[in-house]
Amino acid sequence: MATRTIRVDYIARVEGESALDLHIRDGKVDAAHLAIFEPPRFFEALLRGRGFREVLDIVARICGICPIAYQMSGVHAIEQVLGVAVEPPIRALRRLLYCGEWIESHALHIVMLHAPDFLGYPDAITMAREHGAAVERGLALKKAGNALLRLLGGREIHPVNVRVGGFYRAPARAELAALVDTLKAAQDQAIATLRWAAGFEFPECRRDYEFVALRHAQDYPMNEGRIVSTAGLDIAAADYETEFLERQVPHSTALHSALKRRGAYLVGPLARYALNRDRLPAEVQALADEVGLEPVCCNPYRSILVRAVEVVYACGEALRLIVDYEPPSRPFVPVAPRAGTGHACSEAPRGILYHRYRLDAEGTILDARHVPPTAQNQGVIEADLRQTAAARLDLDEDELKAACEQSIRNHDPCISCAAHFLTLRVHRG
């Protein structure tokens, strides 16, 4: 029996540490594992015994790329326990903060991490020698997202301003207005980036995903909405653990999520867009049509286009929120501890992030649960890998490895988040 093993020991251009193992037997893919060796940090365990006011600073540290996602899912879950209702301007500021993180994270992935795969470079810095204008435009776009994070959060990474009940300090109108020109320029840069990416050559691929995302009555989802899927799921965040389960596999420090009834599913830009395209403004939908992006995109390589559409949207949404902004009467509402359990889901750049906390009457955390987007996508990432490898077994080892890595990067995995979550090893002969 001929067996062949191919391994990539470190998947580059993803956040965190992972490896890939492919086992090929008699010309068929036997197993495709995304091995996550990111060392676990045990956040859920170390949160126990902390005060509810400490949670948001701590959970930000789960991920340097998407700290806002952690702060948003966290703040909403805790506010649910405490019965806190925030004023509309606070809601608007939280959405604006999330726009900053979407712009920053998506621009990083589109230009620095994903585009080099399509254009055949090892990285964006090498790519910049021949595509200097595109890389510089991407960096400017990323910088605009970071400018929002810096103003609303105090700094780009691990922002300090979100608190239970609101913000420590709400910005003045003039502070936000100072970002209008930057965001208008960013909107143009985002449109140019979308048109640029639309010119890439995309491998033929059609996957039959069950998409899962939030859906809100009016908005393209960020902080609020029900959890819905293309197979008809429609639940509140509080029912997440009734429908989804997490299991542990020996090859990974990330737990794998699955729908109890149907198995693997996909969260993230492809899912959000498939389930919420009608919530995008007409001009953003028109841009998606112009670049040939189908209303439901099942080709994971084309996720780069969906990310670019979302960046265009986030720039416009940020501008709208800034124009409409009226400072809140107070930056935060007072909160008092009480016992109970709270659940929340928000749309991290990579997909839904679920948090649950149980508090005692003094507000001390008794229990914490986090389900990051990459843990949820791990089943689909491995299924994609199997399909990618099976169609390319005639390639030489380096080409096969590159194809497998690209297949993983299609989903912008964030390993730091998921470890509690890649190396490519191909076993064949």
Partner 1 sequence: MPRRPGRPRLAVWKFASCDGCQLSLLDCEDELLAVAERLEIAYFGEASRRMLPGPYDLSLVEGSITTPADALRIRRVRRLSRRLVTIGACATAGGIQALRNFADAAEFAAYVYPHPQYVKTLATSTPIAAHVPVDFELRGCPIDKGQLLEVIKAFLVGRKPSIPNHSVCIDCKARGTVCVMVARGAPCLGPVTHAGCGAICPSYDRGCYGCFGPVAGANTAAIVREFSKLGMAPRDIGRVFRTFNAAAEAFRKEADAHGH
Q: Which residues bind partner 1 (CB under 8 A)?
A: 10-17, 37-46, 48, 50-51, 54, 57-58, 61-65, 67, 108, 112-113, 116, 122-126, 128, 135-136, 139-140, 142-143, 146, 154-158, 160-161, 163, 168-169, 247-248, 250, 253, 255, 331, 402, 405, 416, 420
Contact 32, 386 (CB under 8 A): yes
**Residue closer to partner 1, measured from CB, 232 or 250:** 250
Residue pointed to by tokens 């810096």: 150
Q: Please, what is the minimum distance in Å from the beta carbon of residue 67 to partner 1?
A: 7
Contact 104, 153 (CB under 8 A): no
Q: Please, what is the minimum distance in Å from the beta carbon of residue 285 to partner 1?
A: 29
**Residue closer to partner 1, measured from CB, 74 or 116:** 116
Eight-state DSSP code of residue 380: H
Q: How many CB atoms lie within 10 A of CB 41?
A: 14
**Residue closer to partner 1, measured from CB, 409 or 428:** 409
**Residue closer to partner 1, measured from CB, 242 or 248:** 248
Q: Please, what is the minimum distance in Å from the beta carbon of residue 117 to partner 1?
A: 9
Q: Rounded distance, CA 218 to CA 278, Å?
A: 9
Eight-state DSSP code of residue 394: T
Which helix (H) or strand (E) is 187 found in, with range?
helix 180-198
Contact 189, 141 (CB under 8 A): yes
Q: Which two tokens stand for residue 225?
A: 């909405």
**Residue closer to partner 1, measured from CB, 121 or 200:** 121
Q: Which two tokens stand for residue 388?
A: 């990618």
Q: Please, what is the minimum distance in Å from the beta carbon of residue 60 to partner 1?
A: 8
Eight-state DSSP code of residue 277: G
Q: Please, what is the minimum distance in Å from the beta carbon of residue 406 to partner 1?
A: 10
**Residue closer to partner 1, measured from CB, 37 or 211:** 37
Radius of gyration of the chain (CA): 21
Q: Which two tokens stand for residue 384?
A: 């994609």
**Residue closer to partner 1, measured from CB, 230 or 423:** 423
Q: Please, what is the minimum distance in Å from the beta carbon of residue 267 to partner 1?
A: 20
Residue 265 phi/psi, 5-degree rounding, is -150, 170
**Residue closer to partner 1, measured from CB, 215 or 307:** 307
Q: Please, what is the minimum distance in Å from the beta carbon of residue 186 to partner 1?
A: 12
Eight-state DSSP code of residue 389: H
Q: Rounded distance, CA 189 to CA 51, Å?
A: 42
**Residue closer to partner 1, measured from CB, 122 or 429:** 122
**Residue closer to partner 1, measured from CB, 67 or 342:** 67
Q: Rounded distance, CA 32 to CA 251, Å?
A: 11
Q: Please, what is the minimum distance in Å from the beta carbon of residue 378 to partner 1?
A: 15
Here the contacts of 88-93 (C-beta below 8 Å, separation 24 or greater) are 89/170, 89/325, 89/326, 89/327, 89/328, 90/166, 90/167, 90/170, 90/328, 90/331, 90/332, 91/223, 92/321, 92/324, 92/325, 93/152, 93/167, 93/170, 93/171, 93/321, 93/325, 93/328
Q: Please, what is the minimum distance in Å from the beta carbon of residue 392 to partner 1?
A: 17
In total, the chain counts a number of residues equal to 429
**Residue closer to partner 1, measured from CB, 4 or 50:** 50
Q: Please, what is the minimum distance in Å from the beta carbon of residue 327 to partner 1?
A: 14
Q: Where are the beta strands (DSSP E) in 142-301?
A: 162-163, 166-167, 212-215, 226-229, 234-235, 244-248, 255-259
Q: Please, what is the minimum distance in Å from the beta carbon of residue 323 to partner 1?
A: 24
